């Protein structure tokens, strides 16, 4: 097993080999409603992106029901709270998952950022920059519902992925999140994934209804990334604590997620704005709670 010192050394080595002008893309994934498969999609999407050659990190910001580690059978010893308190370095809390993806266990760490003084915040941002230099894409797995933290995570991210399914309650809650994004102009576009559908036609129908409402009433563009089919192997993979992309790579759900990943990764060839990057992302979050 690789110890923390070796892990940090590896990260620093990777940092020097990566183009320092390149910035990490931060993508916030949300749903508005629990039970639509958001965390499971986040984990398997991260794996699909990693299979395509990207260095991927998941930041678990679902403080109430953090499921990312459970879905992969991992047991983190530390989380962001230990970093904020100064007990651990960021490299100490990183957990490695399948295909080399990394997980940052969140706990209440983001909320604690409001209590940092100037030097402490600079030290944290320095560590975040180290992570930024070794990572291509960071996926933020948020909690269900609407909160000040969620709005901050949405506002500070480069992209927002909204997860829903065909159920009216899920659609209504997803629309509620989209309404707030549009009202406060947090983004001018959201990306949509429709989970647990019977077939491609059902996914497209849900996306079309959602897009029409968003366009007519919210002045918000919806980029439909795709659907994920109902698949009994998804539930089995949860029980096995093994992502379905690993345990059942030929399953219907795996094929759908890999298709979505290919749709998602194409924009990253574009130039990234000067204010992008992980350190800037957390600077924005810190201001929200200061």
User: Residue 281 has which token pair?
Assistant: 């992302």
How many CB atoms lie under 10 A from the CB of residue 208?
12
pLDDT of residue 274: 41
pLDDT of residue 17: 44
Q: Which residue has the tokens 């320092």?
A: 20
| DSSP conformation letters of 144-206 | SS--HHHHHHHHHSSEEEEEE-SSHHHHHHHHHHHHHHHHTTS-SEEEEEEEEESSHHHHHHH
pLDDT of residue 90: 86
Residue 2 backbone dihedrals phi, psi, to 5 degrees: -75, 130
pLDDT of residue 63: 61
Write the CB contacts of 193 (distance below 8 Å, at least 6 apart in sequence). Answer: 41, 161, 162, 163, 164, 225, 226, 227, 228, 260
Question: Strand 137-142 to strand 25-30: parallel, antiparallel, or no bridges (unpaired)?
Answer: parallel
| DSSP conformation letters of the chain | ---HHHHHHHHHHHHHHS-TT---EEEEEE-SSTTSSHHHHHHHHHHHHHHTT--EEEEEE-SSS--HHHHTT---S--HHHHHTTSS-HHHH-EE-GGG-EEEE-TTHHHHGGG--HHHHHHHHHHHHHHHTT-SEEEEEEPSS--HHHHHHHHHSSEEEEEE-SSHHHHHHHHHHHHHHHHTTS-SEEEEEEEEESSHHHHHHHHHHHHHHIIIII--EEEEEEEEE--HHHHHHHHHTS-HHHH-TTSHHHHHHHHHHHHHHGGGGSPPPTT-SHHHHHHHHHHHH-
User: Residue 151 has which token pair?
Assistant: 């709005």
pLDDT of residue 286: 61
Write the CB contacts of 17 (distance below 8 Å, at least 6 apart in sequence). Answer: none
**Residue spans of the chain under pLDDT 50:** 1-2, 4-5, 7-9, 11-21, 269-274
Model pTM score: 0.85
pLDDT of residue 15: 41
Sheet with 137-142: list strands edge to edge: 95-96, 102-105, 56-61, 137-142, 25-30, 159-164, 189-197, 221-229
The sign of the CA dihedral 265, 267, 272, 278 is negative
Residue-wise pLDDT tens digits, 160-202: 999 999 999 999 999 999 999 999 899 999 999 999 999 999 9
pLDDT of residue 178: 94
pLDDT of residue 156: 83
pLDDT of residue 275: 53
pLDDT of residue 105: 87
Residue-wise pLDDT tens digits, 27-51: 999 998 788 999 999 999 999 999 9
């Amino acid at each position: 097993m690789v110890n923390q010192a070796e892990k940090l050394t590896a990260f620093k080595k990777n940092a020097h080999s990566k183009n320092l002008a390149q910035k990490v893309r931060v993508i916030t994934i949300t749903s508005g409603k629990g039970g639509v498969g958001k965390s499971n999609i986040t984990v398997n999407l991260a794996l699909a992106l990693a299979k395509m050659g990207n260095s991927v990190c998941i930041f678990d910001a679902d403080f109430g029901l953090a499921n990312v580690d459970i879905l992969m059978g991992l047991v983190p010893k530390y989380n962001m709270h230990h970093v904020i308190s100064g007990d651990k370095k960021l490299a100490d809390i990183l957990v490695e998952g399948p295909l080399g993806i990394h997980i940052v266990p969140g706990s209440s760490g983001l909320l604690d950022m409001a209590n940092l003084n100037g030097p402490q915040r600079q030290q944290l941002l320095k560590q975040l920059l180290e992570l930024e230099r070794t990572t291509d894409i960071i996926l933020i797995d948020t909690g269900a519902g609407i909160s000040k933290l969620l709005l901050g995570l949405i506002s500070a991210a480069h992209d927002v992925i909204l997860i829903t399914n065909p159920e009216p309650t899920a659609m209504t809650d997803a629309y509620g999140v989209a309404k707030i994004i549009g009202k406060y102009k947090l983004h001018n576009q959201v990306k949509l994934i429709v989970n647990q559908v019977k077939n491609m036609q059902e996914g497209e129908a849900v996306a079309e209804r959602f897009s029409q409402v968003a366009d007519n009433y919210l002045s918000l563009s919806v980029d439909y990334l795709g659907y994920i089919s109902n698949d009994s192997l998804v539930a089995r993979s949860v029980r096995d604590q093994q992502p379905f992309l690993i345990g059942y790579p030929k399953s219907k759900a795996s094929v759908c997620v890999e298709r979505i990943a290919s749709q998602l990764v194409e924009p990253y060839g574009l130039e990234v704005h000067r204010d992008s990057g992980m350190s800037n992302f957390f600077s924005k979050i810190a201001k929200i709670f200061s």
